[in-house]
Amino acid sequence: MPVSIEAGLYREPPYRLLNAQGRSPVLLVCEHASRYIPAELQQLGLDDAAAQEHIAWDIGALALAEALSARLDAPLLAAGYSRLLIDLNRPLAAPDSIPEHSEIYPIPGNCKLDAATRAQRQAAIFEPFHRRLGELIDQRLAAGVPLRLVGVHSFTPSYRGVPRPWSAGVLFDRAAGYAERIIAGLRQGDEAIGANQPYQIDPAEDMTVPVHGDERGLDAVLIEIRNDGLRTPEAVAAWAERLAPWL
User: Do 131 and 156 meet the contact criterion of CB atoms below 8 Å apart?
Assistant: no
Q: Which CA distances in Å does 154 have to 95, 166, 167, 233?
A: 21, 11, 10, 15
- Predicted confidence band of residue 1 (pLDDT cuts 50, 70, 90): low
Q: What is the pLDDT of residues 23-75, one digit of tens each?
A: 999 999 999 999 999 999 999 999 999 999 999 999 999 999 999 999 999 99
Q: Give, as one character, the DSSP assignment of residue 26.
A: E
CA distance 60 to 44: 22
Q: What is the pLDDT of residues 150-176, one digit of tens each?
A: 999 999 999 888 899 999 999 999 999
User: What is the number of other CB atoms lying within 10 angstroms of the CB of residue 3?
Assistant: 10
User: Do 25 and 70 meet the contact criterion of CB atoms below 8 Å apart?
Assistant: no
Q: Which fold would CATH assign to domain 15-246?
A: Aminopeptidase (3.40.630)
**Domain positions in the chain:** 15-246
Q: Which of 17, 3, 151 is nearest to 90 (CA)?
A: 151
Q: Give, as one character, the DSSP assignment of residue 120.
A: H
Q: Which of 192, 134, 201, 204 is nearest to 165 (CA)?
A: 192
Q: Give, as one character, the DSSP assignment of residue 92.
A: T
Name the E strands within the chain.
Answer: 15-18, 26-30, 76-79, 101-102, 105-106, 148-155, 158-159, 162-163, 168-171, 193-195, 219-226
CA distance 68 to 173: 23
Q: What is the pLDDT of residues 99-147, one digit of tens each?
A: 999 878 899 999 999 999 999 999 999 999 999 999 999 999 999 999 9
CA distance 159 to 19: 34
Name the E strands within 50-157.
Answer: 76-79, 101-102, 105-106, 148-155
CA distance 89 to 83: 9
Most confident of 2-16, 152-166, 227-241: 227-241
CA distance 21 to 63: 20
